[in-house]
Amino acid sequence: MKAFRSMRLVLLALLLVLAPLSSFAGVFINITIAPPALPVYEQPACPQDGYMWIPGHWRYAEFGYFWVPGVWVEAPEPGLLWTPGYWGWERGVYIFHDGYWGRHVGYYGGVNYGFGYMGMGFAGGEWRGGHFAYNTAVVNVNRSYVHTTYVNETIVHNTTIINNNHVAYAGGPGGVQHQPTAEENVAMHEQHTGPTAAQTQHFNSAQSDPNSRFSANHGRPTTTAVARPMTAAPARANAPAMQNNRPALQSNRPVVQNNPSAMSNNRPALQNNHSVQPTYTRPTAQAGYQSAPAGSHPTSQPAYQPMHPAPQPQIHPAPQPQSHPAPQNHPASNPKPSAASKPEHKN
């Protein structure tokens, strides 16, 4: 009996230790249907220094799979990198592990999302002091706003896992077969931070968009990537007018038109089975920027104006003293005669 109680205490202690790790891993759903293949898309230019690329990926809701567009978001603080979420085959079901911020990029199943997330680690750039330096061998930046860049093709070759079938999950039948490296294991156990408020808003906006659902787009989302996080349209009368002005705002952003895609054909494959072929094209930002303009206000008159009408003399006549009635024929009672009281002037 004592041995049994001791074993229960040991198991309870292990659960308490492992609970924070499991909760932080972001395992929130598991299903028996494999996620769709990753669509091939072009990366919009990084709009601002210190922004990090969050790869597009499939998520699941009560209506089925839906696509979350890739997006540039501001890092919570200098020095933090994003580890993408991924689907993994475990015990006969597909489980999604959410992404997180940390000092190093951890394990994301070997899924090659492209644009620096080639399956292992991160090749898209590095922090140098308080500024992020972008590796333009694999990421697209707007050089009008981003000035710290470099080119390193070696790290791209060393971290690329080829996946010509664009498989979006790790393990199981047909999945990417990649076990965590020593560096990824260390990064997984470091201190982590969950998605930012902008990322959560972006996820929610994608979930509420009917066009993002696999049942509607059949694996070809209309909006695959955006430069900034999408936001839900405000529920007010002037919202349509605000949305109509967005294309003009987006079209004024300078972008880079470089296209070094030829280098992708010469990269050696580190894995023989499955990996996403990285896409290095750098086109303009795609349509679908859903952010609502900040600081919008209705142009109608303030609501408080009609609430305080000027006093009317007919409603509040001045009291007349009874002891001193004013004579009716006194000229002072009509200081300004009207035009109707002087007919003699019309002759």
pLDDT value at residue 266: 38
Dig out the tokens for 213 from the structure. 């659902």
Q: What is the model's pLDDT at position 231? A: 74
| pLDDT averaged per 10 residues, the chain (length 347) | 46 39 46 94 95 97 97 96 97 95 97 97 95 97 93 96 95 94 94 96 96 96 95 44 35 37 38 39 36 37 39 48 48 43 41
CB within 8 A of 295, min separation 6: which ones? none
What confidence score (pLDDT) does residue 11 get? 44
Q: Residue 234: name the closest of 297, 299, 303 by CA.
A: 297
pLDDT at site 129: 86
pLDDT at 112: 97
